[in-house]
Amino acid sequence: MTERLVVIGGDAAGMSAASQARRRRSPDDLNIVAFERGQHVSYSACGIPYLVAGDVDDVDDLVARRPEEFRERQHIDLRLGSEVVAIDTDRREVTVRDATREYREPFDQLVIATGGEPIRPDVPGAVAVGIHGVQTLDDGIRILGYLDRHTPRRAVVVGAGYIGLEMAEAMIRHGLEVTLVDGAEQPMRTLDPDMGALVAAALEREGVRLRLGERLQGFGSTAGRVSAVHTSAGEIPADIVILGLGTRPNSRLAAAADIKVGETGGIRVDRRMRTSADGVWAAGDCVENLHLVSQRPVAVALGTHANKQGRAAGINIGGGYATFPGVVGTAVSKLCANEVARTGLSTAEAEAAGFRTFSVVTESTTRAGYFPDAKKITTKIIAECTTGRFLGGQIVGQEGAAKRIDALAVALWHGMTVEEMTSLDLSYAPPFAPVWDPILIAARKAAEHLAGS
């Protein structure tokens, strides 16, 4: 008898799960139906700021696979413009709403890949035209359309995290005056304050006006269109507003179906991506992850994790065996020529997790100092006192700086100490690194600090 798999969500996690299940089970054995409430599937949400900035020429360039590929090549019944509004785990069915009707669809296996939802401020004026989130491909298209139709002069970006930085650059590239607002005293609050100060300095060098430590209180509008941002420190004129306040797991469907949701708001899953309900799986930004350093639950919205989790769920549904063990919190971002990266725990996060820490900060260059276009790079290493266990790293620099975080992420994944890291066999040639790579310099300084203490 043919089994029926229903997938809720048509982006990274959902379609990865559907594709992996199909590779292992034929249409005669497994019937797959995928519901996507929007009009795009399998696209790079992380590429939206670069589409707006002009680095990506065409919307289609962000689409990994078109709907026809899933339907015709993989025999997946992909239904766009169809939103699942309820899950009934007892009756084994979902309720679907499209443009013309509401109906029920049965399932034997279910994948919940509802993603994250943007945090929108509950303040006066938040519905004014010209206030944009950055969550879906349609959001990016709307921002480009607004820039083209209204030719704004002043942009205010609310939120100084990864998306805030990237959208600030996009607005700079369109020639707008950019103001960045955040309630924290530093941009990139996932960094330690000293590294956040370097990011603030880089923003100011690019001409961004910083309004840090200011609470958003509302928006002003003229004829229904946004004209100002009101903060605890006053009014900022605005012709367009970009919201970069981050996302939270979209777990409402699961919670309403009595599927367990964790303290982060994400759906609880095991290493195989199984939820608390029999035959129900979850993957992507809607789930709760285990941080492998702190051993605490975290909600991390990244396409890398979503694809891996969806792949694991699909392999298991297809009869194979796969796990997603957790995350270490690796992320990178950029603002024009400035690059920012982090992995593991910040000092505050490490101490909250019960570690006693020390840290070192080193300055070096991305290439041999004598080589043309060598750029400055600042590296911070956070480690545990007495053991020297590496707990986290942060990097701020220019071209060639950020991707060095990957070496730190691998060291973190394998539980290395700073002493062990000093012997890493990292590549060297003058166009790519000094003879002592910045990572090795930081590790050596941390090991010397530990030995001296």
- Per residue in 361-420, pLDDT (tens digit) is 999 999 999 999 999 999 999 999 999 999 999 999 998 899 999 999 999 999 999 999
User: What phi, psi does 81 have (nearest 5°)?
Assistant: 65, 25
Averaged pLDDT, 130-151: 95
pTM metric for this prediction: 0.94
CB burial class (10 A; 0-12, 13-18, 19+) of residue 413? middle
Q: Is 385 a catalytic residue?
A: no
**Residue from 413, 417, 350, 360 nearest 386 by CA:** 417
List, as own/partner pairs, every contact residues 258-264 make where C-beta atoms lie below 8 angstroms and the sequence separation is at least 24, other chains included. Answer: 258/89, 259/87, 259/89, 259/112, 261/288, 262/288, 262/297, 263/288, 263/297, 264/288, 264/297, 264/298, 264/299
The predicted-structure confidence for 262-295, as pLDDT tens digits, reads as follows: 999 999 999 999 999 999 999 999 999 999 999 9
pLDDT at 65 over 90: no
Q: What percent of the chain has pLDDT over 70?
A: 100
Once rounded to an integer, what is the mean pLDDT over residues 54-69? 91
What number of other Cβ atoms are within 10 A of residue 149's Cβ?
A: 8
Question: Does 1 score more than 90 pLDDT?
Answer: no
Residue 213 has a CB neighbour count (10 Å cut-off) of 14
| Beta bridge pairs of residue 104 | 95
- Please give the DSSP secondary-structure letter assigned to residue 69: I
Q: Which of 196, 192, 439, 441 is nearest to 335 (CA)?
A: 196
Structural domains of the chain, with CATH: 3-117+248-317 (3.50.50.60), 131-245 (3.50.50.60), 337-452 (3.50.50.60)
Alpha-carbon gap, residue 79 to 6, rounded angstroms = 11
Span 77-87, average pLDDT: 97
Helices (H), 12-136: 12-24, 48-53, 67-68
If we measure between CA atoms, which residue out of 3, 9, 53 comes closest to residue 32?
3
- Spatial separation of the C-alpha atoms in residues 53 and 59, rounded to whole Å: 12
Query: Would you say 221 and 131 are in contact if contact means Cβ atoms under 8 Å apart?
Result: no
- Compute the mean pLDDT over every residue in the chain, rounded to the nearest whole number: 96
pLDDT of residue 64: 85
Task: Report residue 160 as tokens.
Answer: 């100084």
